Amino acid sequence: MERAEYDALNGKIEKLEALVKWYENQLLSSKRRQFGSSSEKTDIGLQQLGLFDEMRITPPPGPETEEITYTRRKQVGKREDDLSGLPVERIDYELPEPERVCPECGETMRDIGVDVRREFQLIPAKVIVLEHAAHTYACRSCERKGRDVTFAKAKAPVALISGSLASPSLVSHIAAQKYVNGMPLYRLENGFRYDGVNISRQTMSNWVIKCSELYLEPVYERLKKYLLSESVIHADETVVQVLREPGRAAQTKSYEWVYRTSGCSEHKIAVYEYRETRSQEHPKAFLKGFKGFLHTDGYKVYHNLPPDITVVGCWSHVRRKFEAILKNNPKGPNAETGVAYINVLFKLEREFAGLTPKERCQKRLEKSKPIADTFFAWAAGLGALPKIPLGDAVHYALSQRPFLENVWLDGRTEISNNRCERSVKPFVMGRKAWLFSNTPAGARASSVMYSLIETAKENGLHPCRYLEFLLETLPNSTTSGLEALLPWSEALPERCRAPKKTEAAV
């Protein structure tokens, strides 16, 4: 065999071996995503970094401690805690008078104690036909005397949707079942049928879309206005399938963009927006007029926004790249070191949680930034090949460095975009149940509903009761009264607020 042929075969074998390893890694990653734990908690910390002499870092000093004293409420059992917010009905079981007579002496026995047993009693919902009968009155005297007859009619609530059987309570229930509990409309249709109520899934869908267009979109736009007035927000996106988009195949992917406030915001807001593509034009249009910090993942469309927007990268995404390697190869020291560096940054963030933004910014520059600089220097010095998992993780970290380091600019920023990912999750979980939207109008209505529901939940409201209150109020109100209807308004009735669980025993 010729030397050149031998070298060519060896090179081919090396490439095939690398390809096999790559496919093995992809298979392990896929199985872990499908069947493994999704938790990002790890016990790899600063102590692991000490294993490498060339990377030794002096651990940051612990926070100063002070002795405090406090009082706590008397410890209550979990069952008492669970029942504390519910109404109680009591049924007393007493002996009839004749059975209270003592068989020995004939005297009447007295009550000396009660044995109480508690249980949950469920009262199923029921559907009734509510008739709004508005009476009209006329003056009989004027009629007898041949004068112009005066008429007066009692005022009844405006119909939610003219000519339909829809009511605020029914539409809010349908919306909450679909968007809060992930119940597809065909299951709701079957459930109603068992209760003797025939409402088709198409009718329910039309009601939700109509109420969104007629009443809820102004509230949605007001939430968006408040969101864009913030100085720090988060953004993310996920796929959604819409079957009947003009000029597009039913299988084509569309996208749900999610924007939400950060932890420093006065009002907690999550806004969802349906768009046909994942193009850069959509965040540009949505964020028009916004000035401040935008938390995102590494998706490149966020990196070409107007100069008034400073993109802050997500350290969680960097850590996941190294964690994926570590899960497939637990003996990989380089991946373990990468995870350890980033875990230290998150540990420091937990220590800084109670500080003011100015203090947090200063502490980050003193403690976190040197560790991040060492991490980037370590990653750049690895010389990892680009087509292997470690090279991919290193390249991602180094390419995202300008955005990751923007977290040091302001104490109001956060080290990850996890806050927005938590807002994406309700949509993703719902999508697993209802699978797709039939039309763009339905997808837009879903965006409005998710925005109102998730914002209501963020502000401690009961989402179904809040929607019902909006649908009762908005048909008879004007846009000037929207401020009193926003989820953080003190003017909202108490019934809109979710029950507060009593404080857990300390």
What are the helix and strand counts (H, E) for the chain? 18, 7
Q: What is the pLDDT of residue 459?
A: 97
Q: Average pLDDT of 465-472?
A: 97
**Burial readout 238-259 (b: 16 or more C-beta within 10 A, e: otherwise):** bebbbbebeeeeeeeebbbbbb
Residue 360 counted as domain residue: yes
**Amino acid, res. 46:** L
504 lies in a domain?
Answer: no
pLDDT category at 53 given cuts 50, 70, 90 is: very low
Work out the average pLDDT over 280-309. Answer: 95
Measured in degrees and rounded to the nearest 5, phi and psi for residue 312 equal: -110, 120
Specify the pLDDT at position 7.
75
What single letter denotes the amino acid at residue 126?
K
What value does the CA radius of gyration of the chain take, rounded to a whole number of Å? 31
The DSSP secondary-structure symbol of 437 reads B
In a domain, 158, yes or no: no
Q: Which helix (H) or strand (E) holds 256?
A: strand 253-261
User: What's the pLDDT at 50?
Assistant: 52
Mean pLDDT, residues 461-475 taken together: 96
Structure tokens at 275: 């768009």
> 374, 318, 384: which is closest to 54 by C-alpha?
374
Report if residue 337 sits inside a domain: yes
Are 233 and 261 in contact by the 8 Å Cβ rule? The answer is yes
Buried b (16+ CB within 10 A) or exposed e, 317-341: bbbebbbbbbebbeebebbbbbbbb
On the question of pLDDT at 218 being above 60, the answer is: yes
Q: Sign of dihedral through CA atoms 333, 334, 337, 342?
A: negative
56 pLDDT above the threshold of 80 = no
- Average pLDDT of span 29-46: 63
More confident residue, 503 or 161: 161
Tell me whether residue 394 is in a domain.
yes
Q: Which residues pair with 295 in a beta bridge?
A: 234, 312
Cβ–Cβ under 8 Å, residues 205 and 438: yes
Q: What is the pLDDT of residue 43?
A: 64
pLDDT at 112: 86
Output the DSSP codes for 149-186.
Answer: PPEEE---PPPSSTTS---HHHHHHHHHHHHTS---HH
* 20 vs 298, residue with greater confidence: 298
| Pair of tokens at residue 80 | 């008492």
In this predicted structure, which of 44-58, 214-228, 424-438 has the lowest mean pLDDT? 44-58
If you average pLDDT over every residue of the chain, what do you get? Answer: 88
pLDDT in tens, 317-373: 999 999 988 887 776 688 999 999 999 999 999 999 999 999 999 999 999 999 999
Span 170-186, average pLDDT: 96
Lowest mean pLDDT of 61-70, 360-369, 481-490, name the range. 61-70
- How many domains in the chain? 1
* pLDDT over 90 (residue 31): no
CB 450 within 8 A of CB 443: no
Model pLDDT for residues 180-202, shown as the tens digit of each residue: 999 999 999 999 999 889 999 99
Which is higher by pLDDT, 311 or 145?
Answer: 311
Q: What's the rounded mean pLDDT across residues 52-68? A: 49
pTM for this structure?
Answer: 0.83
3-state secondary structure of 387: coil
End-to-end CA distance of the chain: 78
| 476 occurs within a structural domain | no
Look at residue 492 and tell me whether its pLDDT is greater than 90. yes
By residue range, what is the domain housing residue 376?
Answer: 315-404
pLDDT for the residue numbered 289 = 94
Q: What is the pLDDT of residue 6?
A: 74
For residue 492, being part of any structural domain is answered with no
Distance separating alpha carbons of residues 404 and 45, to the nearest angstrom: 20
Q: What angle do CA 13, 14, 18 make, to 5 degrees?
A: 115
Token duo for residue 274:
């349906």
On whether residue 412 sits in a domain, the answer given is no
Share of the chain above pLDDT 90, in %: 64
User: Residues 29-54: what's their mean pLDDT?
Assistant: 58
Report, as an integer, the average pLDDT of 235-251: 95
With a pLDDT cut of 70, the percent of the chain lying above it is: 86
